[in-house]
């Protein structure tokens, strides 16, 4: 790509790196600085337009204004030697990269938040494609960014770019994503685990049931034994959430029951003495009578008693 100004003066090196400050590499003293900056802007805008046209995009994804607004990095390759080089020089192509926060799926379909370096735009002039210039640009970028091809995410790659990555870097196994980015096998390997490691498992005897301090991080998993896990209107699904006050009361209740002799009239006695108030609930399964009243004692055992002869087993469970 040729321009009506001296490309070598604007770009300096064969591969020039440009960031959001848009500083031209070439220097001809302060008097020319403004000109060089304007020429660099023109050069970036024209490259962006050519790339968009080559990819069939409705608008350029690369422009001087967009460069200033983002923390992207441009690698611009210019002609340095050969028969094509004119007096003013020419631009061969460019590669744009930048870090982006992305949610990416791994092979198991697990979502990971990551901020990889992304390939955002890549273009080599039509007359110079398949001459190794793309590889030269890409290699320069990998070296400068100190990264490996499998660590990159690629923003909506074209068929040509997919062929390029396959040929030069063996990137063929894409991990399917729900966004427009493409990552390849090896992207997640040896990355630090995204979530904090779970607390170390405690030895069995260190875990004290119903001990509030010991049980803190297991709160969501633990539930009291049947029938205390039966919330009103529920039949045995686990109790979630605020177990703490409920379990404290149960602990007190069990301690008191263990100390005191068995009460003569268990249902009434337990109702009177021990908070929380108890209610009579239907059992999960209807039983044919033994025509006696069965109740649950403080140790969780069923005890037979006299009194009226209910048709169904009756159990006492705490009210909510
Ligand atoms: C995130 C994005 O930027 S997506 C958009 C990527 N850009 C484009 O599609 C714009 C048009 N294409 C181009 O500008 C260039 O082809 C680039 C940038 C993709 C590659 O640059 P090149 O200088 O051609 O690459 P280089 O010469 O180093 O490597 C050539 C290899 O790239 C691939 N390739 C390049 N051009 C083509 C093509 N027309 N058809 C198929 N594969 C191609 C092939 O694997 C090719 O190897 P081969 O010739 O043995 O088949």
Give the pLDDT score at 320: 54
User: Of all protein residues, whose CA lies closest to atom 4 belonging to ligand 1?
Assistant: 157
On average, the pLDDT of the chain sits at 74
Residue 141 CA to residue 94 CA, distance in Å, equals 10
253 labelled binding-site residue = no
* Any ligand 1 atom below 6 A from CB of 57: no
Least confident of 3-7, 43-47, 185-189, 205-209: 205-209
132 labelled binding-site residue = yes
Assigned token pair, 291? 């025509």
160 labelled binding-site residue = yes
Residue 112 CA to residue 102 CA, distance in Å, equals 8
Assigned token pair, 208? 């004290």
Q: Which atom of ligand 1 is nearest to the CA of 137?
A: 28
Q: What is the ipTM of this complex?
A: 0.99
Least confident of 138-152, 236-250, 280-294: 236-250
* Any ligand 1 atom below 6 A from CB of 160: yes
Residue 172 CA to residue 190 CA, distance in Å, equals 19
* Any ligand 1 atom below 6 A from CB of 54: yes
**Beta strands 15-18 and 73-78, pairing class:** antiparallel
pLDDT digits (tens, 9 = 90+) for 33-45: 778 899 999 999 9
Q: Where are the domains of the chain?
A: 7-184, 204-318
Q: How far apart are the first and last CA of the chain?
A: 78
Neighbours of 120 (CB within 10 A): 21
* Any ligand 1 atom below 6 A from CB of 53: no
Region 244-261: what's the mean pLDDT? 58
Q: Tell me which residue of 217, 221, 239 sits closest to 230, measured CA to CA.
A: 239
* Any ligand 1 atom below 6 A from CB of 55: yes
Give the pLDDT score at 192: 56
For residue 167, the CA-to-ligand 1 centroid distance in Å is 10
In this predicted structure, the answer to whether residue 132 has a pLDDT above a threshold of 80 is yes
Give the pLDDT score at 144: 96
For residue 130, the CA-to-ligand 1 centroid distance in Å is 6
User: Of all protein residues, whose CA lies closest to atom 25 belonging to ligand 1?
Assistant: 134
Please name every residue paired with 123 in a beta bridge, in sequence order, or none if there are none: 94
Give the pLDDT score at 309: 45
pLDDT, greater one: 181 or 24: 181
Region 252-261: what's the mean pLDDT? 63
158 labelled binding-site residue = yes
User: Of all protein residues, whose CA lies closest to atom 40 belonging to ligand 1?
Assistant: 160
pLDDT digits (tens, 9 = 90+) for 188-208: 987 654 454 554 554 444 333
Residue 7 CA to residue 70 CA, distance in Å, equals 24
Query: Quick one: 236 exposed, middle or buried, by C-beta within 10 A (0-12, 13-18, 19+)?
Result: exposed
Residue 276 preceded by cis peptide, ω within 30: yes
pLDDT, greater one: 28 or 238: 28
pLDDT, greater one: 59 or 287: 59
Q: Which atom of ligand 1 is nearest to the CA of 136?
A: 28
pLDDT digits (tens, 9 = 90+) for 296-312: 666 766 666 555 544 55
For residue 157, the CA-to-ligand 1 centroid distance in Å is 11
pLDDT digits (tens, 9 = 90+) for 7-37: 988 998 899 999 999 987 765 555 567 788 9
For residue 113, the CA-to-ligand 1 centroid distance in Å is 30
> Dihedral of CA 304/307/312/318: which sign?
negative
User: Of all protein residues, whose CA lies closest to atom 15 belonging to ligand 1?
Assistant: 124
Least confident of 101-110, 149-158, 173-182, 199-208: 199-208
pLDDT digits (tens, 9 = 90+) for 88-100: 789 999 999 999 9
CATH of domain 7-184: 3.40.630.30
Residue 265 CA to residue 268 CA, distance in Å, equals 6
130 labelled binding-site residue = yes
């Amino acid at each position: 790509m040729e321009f009506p100004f001296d490309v070598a003066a604007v770009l300096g090196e064969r591969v020039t790196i440009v960031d959001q400050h848009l500083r031209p590499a070439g220097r001809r003293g302060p008097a020319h600085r403004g000109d060089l900056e304007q020429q660099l802007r023109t050069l970036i805008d024209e490259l962006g337009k050519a790339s968009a046209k080559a990819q069939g995009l409705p608008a350029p994804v690369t422009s001087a204004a967009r460069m200033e607004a983002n923390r992207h990095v441009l690698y611009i390759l210019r002609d340095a030697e050969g028969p094509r080089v004119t007096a003013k020089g020419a631009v061969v192509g460019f590669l744009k990269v930048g870090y982006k926060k992305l949610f990416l799926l791994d092979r198991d379909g697990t979502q990971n938040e990551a901020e990889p370096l992304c390939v955002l735009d890549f273009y080599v002039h039509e007359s110079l494609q398949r001459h190794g210039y793309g590889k030269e640009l890409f290699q320069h970028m990998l070296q400068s960014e100190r990264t490996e091809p499998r660590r990159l995410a690629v923003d909506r790659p074209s068929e040509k770019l997919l062929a390029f990555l396959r040929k030069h870097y063996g990137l063929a196994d894409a991990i399917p994503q729900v966004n427009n980015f493409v990552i390849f096998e090896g992207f997640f390997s040896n990355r630090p685990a995204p979530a904090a490691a779970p607390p170390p498992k405690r030895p069995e005897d260190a875990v004290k049931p119903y001990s509030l301090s010991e049980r803190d991080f297991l709160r969501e998993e633990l539930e009291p034994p049947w029938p205390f896990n039966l919330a009103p209107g529920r039949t045995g699904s686990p109790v979630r959430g605020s177990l703490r006050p409920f379990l404290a009361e149960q602990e007190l209740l069990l301690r008191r029951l263990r100390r005191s002799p068995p009460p003569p009239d268990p249902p009434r006695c337990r109702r009177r003495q021990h908070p929380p108030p108890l209610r009579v609930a239907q059992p999960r399964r209807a039983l044919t009578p033994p025509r006696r009243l069965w109740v649950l004692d403080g140790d969780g055992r069923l005890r037979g008693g006299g009194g009226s002869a209910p048709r169904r087993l009756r159990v006492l469970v705490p009210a909510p």
